[in-house]
Structure 1
Amino acid sequence: MKNRKSLLGIAVAAAGAVVLAGCGSGDGAEAGATEASAAPKLAVVATTPEVADFVRNIGGDAVSVTQIIKPNVDPHDFEPTPADIKAIAEAKVVVKNGVGLEEWLDRTVEASGFQGDVVDSSAGVKLREGGHEHEEGEEEHAEEDGHEHDPHIWHDPRNAKIMVTNIEKGLAAADPSQASAFASNLTSYGKELDKLDADNEAAFAKLPAADRKLVTNHDALGYYIDRYKLEFVGSAIPSLDTSAELSAKQLSDLVARIKATGTKAIFTESSLPPKTVEAIAQQAGVKVIGGEDALYGDSLGEPGTPEGTYLGAERHNTEVIVAGLGG
């Protein structure tokens, strides 16, 4: 922690020196006038790709967003860098997913000396207890992986609406001059979330209930499964985070469940290696859906792609799951 504080001090001092040097440059009144005419953007740090995308949609041009966790990085196994600490120190607002997903955040905020507001986007969301349960003993997984509640709340668009509402309130409190713009953006984006939810429902309505059986890398889609009435058969990693491994008995039990339920496919996730899933699929005699069709369980796609947004990633998930289970 001392090393992180030292690095933070060096970085901040260096940034201050750059600013002072800039003030002494000779571009004069024209540069000053340009800076005065441009309203400063609200500096926001967002922890996860999903939360960062929400902040960009609600904040629009009035915010400058620094995203801590990059696409296809496992948030359950993340450690912040000195650059992350510096970004938090300089921000006015930090927005987190909450529900224990960012176990590293509290100590990082403390180390940075951050003086602004931390917005918990999960406030008011009805949480799922732990993970799915299949047999005696599996209820212990939630405690073992550190999650009493499932933190993957964004996979239900109704929860996403609560999250962006919390974000709008936090941004408006930090910059009241832009409150009306934030409120307008919230209204517009809320309609897109409603459409996503309706489109997902319509897509699954075409899939027979008997085919709605899901096996994935890890138990990340619980809210999605509950929302669209799917059946969770199991996961290659038997927990809400990604640190656990299947025992030999759990592996054979999962293969047996896949066969017994008539599950058609196993889906890999973009931020996790597919090897275990491929081994299970081979034993169970079902297909693996991955590669470009891998689901976005913990992350979003690369910036600039449709899947690099929350809406695009969730549409992708639905399209892939419906096609994979309906084929």
Structure 2
Amino acid sequence: MKYAHRLIWTAGIAAATTLMAACGSGTPETGASSTASGPKLAVVATTPEVADFVRNIGGADVAVTQIIKPNVDPHDYEPTPADLQAIATAELVVKNGVGLEEWLDRTIESAGFKGTVVDSSQGVTLREGGHHEEEEGEHAEGEGEQHAGEEEHDPHIWHDPRNAKIMVANIQKGLAAAEPAKAGAFAENLAAYTAELDKLDSDNAAAWAKIPKADRKLVTNHDAFGYYIARYELEFVGSVIPSLDTSAELSGKQLTDLVAKIKATGTTAIFAESSLPPKTAEAIAQQAGVKVVAGEDALFGDSLGAPGSPEGTYLGAERHNTRVIVDALAG
């Protein structure tokens, strides 16, 4: 099936390339802002989180094209001809990294993009294979061999605000290198946004301080919150999809084991995610005799909320996640 998808994807890219050659380099479709005209720097950002970071650091001096729209699963994303065109006409591409955008390298090659790709994850201490296999370790900011074998690491790095600080610092460096004349403005934006990330982190910590550690048990749709769990000392009980990747499926034995673990640990809720259907979570919750937190209270695991909503920004989505989980566990 994946091979067939690759063939379809390749054919689509080839057609898009032919169209671009015939029509020239048009204006790519954008997320929150229009493509750069005049002095603005044209930047393609892959995920909603990364796009929001670029907008905050770049400000009025950048025009951001966001590839993955809200509530679209990034793990199994298939690029469109519009994505190809956007990358072909961009001056800078910014990605989450850690193997999250498996489609990006071949898309860049097909688009003929020769500019700079900024990997916002550089310097982040990565978690090997998911949080349940890791002990709580020190948070290091140095670059090193942690980027070897990216596909084996947890890519959901933004759920720890300290990692988000590293990501936006990488983005600021990339923007400044691409537009040196605006470096001062980018640095000022970075300082202001870093202060907001520090406040987010301290607010989260204060909210969790009200919940006894014995009650900080989390079951989610998929294994997306490892960095958050480690940062705020939660206990990971399990996930409906037993993987960092949303394409995995829960076997009958895994389902039975998860229900048993929920009951044994005294877990009180299963948290659905905005980009995934809640049906399996609801079935497991019914068997385990616990509530499902879904709908408007679904967590933002891989995505952000709708543009223009409070949850449509990284800060808003993370505040939402903390409020929802803390309220549910406290209640």
Instruction: Give the TM-score normalised by the residue count of structure 1.
Output: 0.88
Residue equivalent to 1:95: 94
Whichever of the two has the greater Rg, that structure is 1
Counterparts of 1:17 and 1:96, CA distance in 2: 22
CA distance in 1 between counterparts of 2:299 and 2:221 reads 9
**Identity %, equivalent residues:** 75
Cα deviation digits, residues 99-124 of structure 1 (max 9, x gap): 00000000000000001100000000
Tell me the amino acid that sits aligned with residue 130 of structure 1.
G
Tell me, yes or no, if the aligned pair for 1:5 and 1:112 is still in contact at 8 Å.
no
Contact 1:147 1:240 in 2 (8 A): no
Residue number in structure 2 paired with 1:203: 207
User: Aligned partner of 1:300: which letter?
Assistant: L
1:55-66 matches, within 5 Å, as 55-66=54-65
- Quick check: which one's helix share is greater? 1
- Secondary structure in 2 matching 1:245: coil
Q: Which amino acid aligns with 1:120?
A: D
Q: Which residue of 2 aligns with 1:68?
A: 67
Q: Secondary structure at the match of 2:78?
A: coil
**Gap runs ≥5 in structure 1:** 19-37, 135-145
1:75 aligned counterpart, secondary structure: coil
The CA distance in 2 between the partners of 1:9 and 1:63, in whole Å, is 28
Separation in 2 of the partners of 1:128 and 1:249? 26
Equivalence for 1:24 = none
**Preserved CA contact (<8 Å) 2:131 2:230:** no
Q: Do residues 249 (structure 1) and 253 (structure 2) align?
A: yes
Alignment of 1:306-325 (within 5 A): 306-325=310-329
Query: For residues 214 and 111 of structure 1, do their structure 2 counterparts lie closer, same or farther at Cα, with a shift above 3 Å needed?
Result: same
1:121 maps to: 120
SS of 1:118 mapped into structure 2 = strand
Matched with 1:193 is 197
In structure 2, what is the equivalent of residue 11 of structure 1? 20
- Structure 2: gaps of 5 or more residues: 1-9, 28-36, 134-149
User: Is residue 2:167 matched to residue 1:163?
Assistant: yes
| Aligned-partner residue type, residue 165 of structure 1 | A
1:304 and 2:308 aligned = yes
User: Does 1:184 pair with 2:183?
Assistant: no
Matches of 1:260 and 1:102, distance apart in 2: 37
How far apart are residue 132 of structure 1 and its match?
3.8
Distance in 2 of aligned mates of 1:166 and 1:17: 29
1:10 deviates by 1.8
Stretch deviating more after TM superposition (38-47 or 193-202):
38-47
Q: What letter corresponds to residue 230 of structure 1 in structure 2?
A: L
Per-residue Cα deviation, 1:20-70 (whole angstroms, up to 9, x for no partner): xxxxxxxxxxxxxxxxxx852000000000000000000000000000000
Q: 2:62, 2:122 → 1: CA distance?
A: 22
The corresponding residue for 1:139 is none
For residue 75 of structure 2, give the secondary structure of its aligned residue in structure 1.
helix
Question: Structure 1 residue 147: deviation in Å?
Answer: 3.2
Counterpart in the other structure of 2:104: 105
Q: Distance in 2 between matches of 1:251 and 1:311?
A: 33
2:241 is the alignment partner of 1:237: yes
Within 2, Cα distance between the matches of 1:297 and 1:3?
Answer: 29
Per-residue Cα deviation, 1:72-114 (whole angstroms, up to 9, x for no partner): 0000110000110000000000000000000000000000000
TM-score, length-normalised on structure 2? 0.87
Stretch moving more, 104-113 or 8-17: 8-17
Q: Which one of 218, 230, 237 corresponds to residue 214 of structure 1?
A: 218
Distance 1:109 1:63 in 2: 20
User: In the alignment, is the contact (CA less than 8 A) between 1:12 and 1:86 conserved in 2?
Assistant: no
Distance (Å, rounded) in 2 between the aligned partners of 1:83 and 1:263: 44
Q: Amino acid of the residue matched to residue 84 of structure 1?
A: D
Residue-by-residue CA offset, 1:120-165 (whole Å, 9 max, x unaligned): 000000000112448xxxxxxxxxxx93000000000000000000
The structural deviation recorded for 1:226 is: 0.2
Q: Deviations over 1:159-208 (max 9, x none)?
A: 00000000000000000010000000000000000000000000000011
3-state SS of 1:272 partner: coil
Q: Distance in 1 between matches of 2:25 and 2:314?
A: 36
Residue 301 to residue 3, structure 1, CA distance change in 2 (3 Å): closer
- Say which of 259, 262, 269 aligns to 2:266: 262
Pick closer, same or farther for the CA change 1:17–1:124 going to 2, 3 Å.
Answer: closer
Matched, 1:284 2:288: yes
Structure 1 runs (4+) greater than 6 angstroms displaced: none
